[in-house]
Structure 1
Amino acid sequence: MQCFGFLKTMMFLFNLIIFLCGVALLAVGIWVSVDGPSFLKIFGPLSSSAFQFVNVGYFLIAAGAVLFALGFLGCYGAHAENKCALMMFFIILLVIFIAEVAAAVVALVYTTLAEQFLKLLIVPVIKSDYGSQSDFTQVWNSTMKGLNCCGFNNYTDFEGSPYYSVNNNTFPAYCCTDNVYANDTAKEICTSQKAQSSAVEGCFDQLLQDIRTNAATVGGVAAGIAVLELAAMIVSMYVYSNVK
């Protein structure tokens, strides 16, 4: 009984933290959706990089909602010794765990497929919105500055974009090597010839390179999260089986 009481208390406290994290993520997600530029100014290149591949606001809202529900079920199930809540907590956590394992396998085995999918998704948006949508343009500029990259693949992604048309068929300054002053103004016009000779790497390749460079850290964090999830599932089933 002492072990049961201890684990029940720990489960309640652990899920209370998850619940509060969910509330925080929901709040940040709503903030990002309403006022994205201020989010970029505070969190810088890392946040702008994420903006390229997901809608950060909606992603944070979805993640916050899941954590909110998970934390609530865990807290309520442990405190009230409610079997239904505990089982729902276990099932949601199991689904998340399986999805994470599947995503890791896809990322390792089908990196090229993922790249092709993102290319089909992102490049057309660059061609239609860069230079006309201020928030989208600011996000890409912050990313290219922070990662020292150009476009998704390279400078050709900007061909046909509003920026390209308005600026006499030239490219963003970041697509030419050492072409940006400290105040983000261009030193000279980035023409097709200069962009080609500069051969600035695409942001997707640069992001992959940064991930590979920090693979040990990323893997360690992922392994730690997986262990916590397994522990939470085991504890929830222990509490579930001991509830009368």
Structure 2
Amino acid sequence: MGGFSTVAKVFLVVVNIIFLVIGLVLLALGLFIRFGSSIINGYVDSAKKSLEASVSSVSTFGTIDLSSFDVTEILRNLAIGLIVAGLLLSILTFLGCCGSCCNIKFMLLAYIITCCGLLVGQVIFIGILYGSPDTIHDPVKKPLKSSIKSDYAGLNGTDIVSIGWNVVMIQVGCCGVDDYSDFTGATKWVIDYTALSPSVTLKTPLACCKTLPTSDDLSCAGTATTESINYLNTGCYDKIWDDTLGNMSLVLGALAGLCVIQLLLVVFALIILCSGGKKKKQKKNTKGNKVRPDDRDAVSPRDPVSYKRKEALRF
């Protein structure tokens, strides 16, 4: 058992140090997204400049200034999620390292219970995500579509919803959550431009055009538009999903490997916990079975002379 306990300790310490580094990286990334606005905004500068140039080229739009637009405001929830995940992972790995190194029972128990809970939750989440994906996708899509209906104001919109959607659609190359129909009925989006020459009724937002208009010709988003010049049938949600978690075999393989590692962590933590309890019992038994000096002399005398004297005195 001692050999297994040593291997378990080494495995727990090494793996938890790796996960501690990952936790600190997640924490740093969350803080960077939340407070590194100058660097992150530089990534979308090209999209903002394209928006400003396109809006100013259409006579009825006027001009817009997007210099004050901060993309980190849109990513605030993501940043908070990464910060919380990084902190929790760092705390969990600390419990695992200290509990295994120092045989601290309550730390090991907390670590085992937390890992088991995470493992069960992870398996359930994976099953829902790939077995019944709409259970997760639909609640995420619903508020996104709702924000389009109530707040999207088109290419010249200056609110955070309009600018955010315009930047995403230009940068990612997509249109709406599922497709262009998500914009149908948007209350603030103007679709009729009869004053322009040629006049046009928009079918999709101008940000869905593969090349943004540079004049009063808005036909790339008109009723006769096609997929060759417009991303009308490419949803942003599915596009981003496919680019990140859409490779099912790769993601499932990674998650399955993570589950196996978590299971090994739980098993090894239990080995350390049990071996620590046995060692304490052995120490107690050793202390309880110690022979007193008087008894030792009585049982196995070391000095034959003194033993004979004792025997003579008895008679």
TM-score in terms of structure 2 length: 0.61
C-alpha distance in structure 1 between counterparts of 2:146 and 2:211, whole Å: 26
RMSD: 3.6
1:231 to 228, 253, 264: 264
Tell me, yes or no, if structure 1 residue 11 matches structure 2 residue 34: no
Deviations 1:129-174 (A, max 9, x none): 554444x656544543454211112224345669735996855434
Tell me, yes or no, if structure 1 residue 96 matches structure 2 residue 96: no
Which residue number corresponds to residue 67 of structure 2? none
Tell me, yes or no, if structure 1 residue 62 matches structure 2 residue 92: no
TM-score in terms of structure 1 length: 0.76
Do the aligned partners of 2:33 and 2:40 also contact (CA within 8 Å) in 1? yes
Do the aligned partners of 1:150 and 1:200 also contact (CA within 8 Å) in 2? yes
Which residue number corresponds to residue 141 of structure 2? 119
2:128 to 98, 106, 110: 106
Report which of the two has the higher share of helix. 1
Structure 1 gap segments, 5+ residues each: none
Superposed, which structure 2 residues align to 1:43-82 within 5 Å?
55-82=77-104
Would the alpha carbon gap of residues 214 and 142 (structure 1) be closer, same or farther in structure 2, given more than 3 Å must change?
farther
Superposed, which structure 2 residues align to 1:1-244 within 5 Å?
1-36=2-37, 38-39=39-40, 41=42, 55-128=77-150, 130=152, 131-134=157-160, 140-141=165-166, 143-158=168-183, 164-165=189-190, 172-176=205-209, 178-180=210-212, 189=218, 191-194=221-224, 198=230, 199-210=232-243, 214-244=247-277
Structure 2 gap segments, 5+ residues each: 45-70, 194-200, 278-315
Deviations 1:11-68 (A, max 9, x none): 122212222322222222122123456346569xxxx9xx78x931011012112201
Would the alpha carbon gap of residues 141 and 231 (structure 1) be closer, same or farther in structure 2, given more than 3 Å must change?
farther
Between Structure 1 and Structure 2, whose CA radius of gyration is higher?
A: 2
Do the aligned partners of 1:12 and 1:78 also contact (CA within 8 Å) in 2? yes
